[in-house]
Amino acid sequence: MNILPSRPRRRLLTGLLLGGGLALAAPMAASAHIHVTPDAAAAGAASSLTFSFSHGCEQSPTTALVVTIPDGVTNVLPLADAAWTVDRDVTETGRTTSVTYTAVTPIDTGLKGQVGMDVRFAEELAGADVAFPVVQQCAEGEAAWTEVAEPGAEEPEFPAAVVAVGEPAASSDEHGSHGSHGEDGAHAADDQDAAAAAAPAETEPASVAALWLGGAGLGAGVLALVVAVFALRRRR
């Protein structure tokens, strides 16, 4: 059995610790973002966005998130949540320019926090990547997640949350489906009308037959009565 000298063993142990630290730091750095979900939406339609995080500012707990609303994003409706208080900056024309979510209880690193809002992307934003700058305020310090990467460039150190806006959702299929439903309803109504019109024709022979049978029965009864009376008279 080979025993390493003390110095090589110390160096090996130090190398393992450093390697393990780097391996752990890489995913932690990758998760140190303000994420937005979904990260894609249709232009001209309403979307529900969730901004989430699981870190503070240099281990300092998060106390607030300030989300800037980019141009072309309207109908902003922040989600009410018992964990946050919500304040909005609104222009004279009624447009919301930013939303501030203040944590009722500061959120420590390693705990997931999230806030939400409903928005509408203008049709003019189709094909664009829309950035939502977010400032993360902490008990000590803050982190401004406001940087936008240039096309083809590496991701910046503090990237803003980005939503890829696609083309407006097609509505022709919906109209077509409504039209087909209308046609189906018209056909169903026609079938019902035809059935209603045919019903008397089907029941008429049955009614005539019932009348004939009733008349025949009445005639038989009268005949039986006459025979009985005649027989009674003969006995007398």
Summarised one tens digit per residue, pLDDT across range 49-80 is: 999 999 999 899 999 999 999 999 999 999 99
Confidence of residue 234 (pLDDT cuts 50, 70, 90): low
Q: What are the structural domain ranges in the chain?
A: 31-166
Token duo for residue 42: 């249709």
Residues in the chain: 236
Q: What is the CA radius of gyration of the chain?
A: 41
DSSP string for 80-140: P-TTEEEEEEE-TTS-EEEEEEEEEEEEPTTS-EEEEEEEEE-GGGTT-EEEE-EEEEESS
Mean pLDDT on 152-162:
93
Confidence of residue 27 (pLDDT cuts 50, 70, 90): very low
Q: CATH number of the domain at 31-166, please? A: 2.60.40.2230
Q: For position 149, what pLDDT does the model report?
A: 84
Single pTM value for the model: 0.62
Look at residue 94 and tell me whether its pLDDT is greater than 90: yes
Give the tens place of pLDDT for each residue, 166-190.
999 875 444 444 444 444 444 444 5
**Mean pLDDT, rounded, of the chain:** 77
